[in-house]
Amino acid sequence: MDGPGPAVSASGRGRVVVLSLLATVAVLALAAPKARADAPAGCLAPSDAAATPLAGGTTTFNPADFGNVPEVCPAGEASLRLRGELVNASGAPDFFGRIVGSATVHARRPITPRTWVGLSVDVLRYQYVNNAGLAAATPSFGPATLGFHWTAVERGRVAVAVHARALLPIDTARQSGIEAGFELGAAARASLPRRFAVDGGLTLAAPVDFVAGQAHGRLQPTLLVEAWWAHSPRLALLVGASATLEAAPDPALRLLVPRAGLRGGLRHHLWLAFLAEAPVTGTDRTNLMASAFLGWTP
C-alpha cells in the first residue's frame, strides 16, 4: 500500500459546504473562552520545548495528522509543518520512485481547563512519481481533520488524555470518490527527574474509501513512544519510535519507524522543530520522512 491513486473528490458544492464548516468551527474555536494559564498536573508549561509530541508519519497513513498521537495537555497553538517523503525502489523489479512534499497547518484552542479542539489541514501536497520511466507530478489540497480532546487524568507527574477525531472528505487529488474516517485514541506523558520526560499513546484510525457506491474501510492502529531530554526550557531533544499496523481487513505491520528530533523556543512565543524518521521494516516502502515545524504558542 503505497498511497492513494487517482481517486475521487466530492462535488464542488460539497467542497464549499465542508470548507464553510471548517471556517465556522475555526472561528468558534478561536472565539472560545481562554482556559486557565497554569498547566495541569503532569503537564509542562505550553511554552516548554518538551511539552508536546511532534507529528510524523506519511501522507498515506497520516494525512492532516489523522492517526498521529496528539498532545496530552490543553494549550492554544498554531503551527506550520513542512514534510518530505522518499520512496526509492529504482532497482529491478520495481523501477519505481516517489517524492512527496506537503504543508500542514495545525491549530488548537482550549475550551475548558481540560478540553480543547484541534484542526489540521493539508494545504498543499505535491507528489512526483516515476514508474519505470513514466513520470507524473500532481499538486493537491486536503484533506483535513477535526478533533476533540480531553485531559482525563492529572495525577502527580502524569497526565493522560483521550480524543476523538474525524477525517473530513476534502481532497482535490481524488477524482472519483471520497475518503472519510474516524479515530479514537489516548495519549500520556510523564515528567521524570533530571530534565527527562516520556510521552506516547495509541490511536485507532478507521479510514473509509467511498468509490462507485461501495465502501472500503480498514482499521489502522498506531503506537508511539518517545523520550525527551530538556537542555533548558527552550531547547529539548527527543528519540523514540512509532509503529503503524493494519488490523483489518488484512492484518500487517505497515511501518516501524525510529525517530529523532529537537525543538527550540524563539522570541515572541515562536518555536522551531525538526523531526527525522527512517522506517526499518513494514510492508510500506517509504525510506525516509523528514519534517520541519514553525509554531506559535501564546
CA 187 from centroid of its chain's CA atoms: 13
Looking at residue 243, its pLDDT comes to: 98
Looking at residue 131, its pLDDT comes to: 80
Q: Which tens digits make up the pLDDT trace of 179-203?
A: 999 999 999 999 999 899 999 999 9
d(CA 274, CA 82): 10
Q: Which tens digits make up the pLDDT trace of 80-137?
A: 999 999 998 876 566 788 999 999 999 999 999 899 999 999 999 999 988 866 667 7
Domain range summary for the chain, segments of one domain joined by +: 12-78+107-117+149-296
DSSP line for 114-183 = TEEEEEEEEEEEEEEEEETTEEEEEEE---EEEEEEEEEEEETTEEEEEEEEEEE---TTBBS-EEEEEE
Angle formed at CA 230 by CA 187 and CA 272, multiple of 5 degrees: 80
Give pLDDT < 50 ranges for the chain: 1-11, 13-14, 17, 28, 31-33, 35-37
Cβ atoms of 213 and 225 within 8 Å: the answer is no
For residue 203, count other CB atoms closer than 10 A to its CB.
23
d(CA 55, CA 65): 7
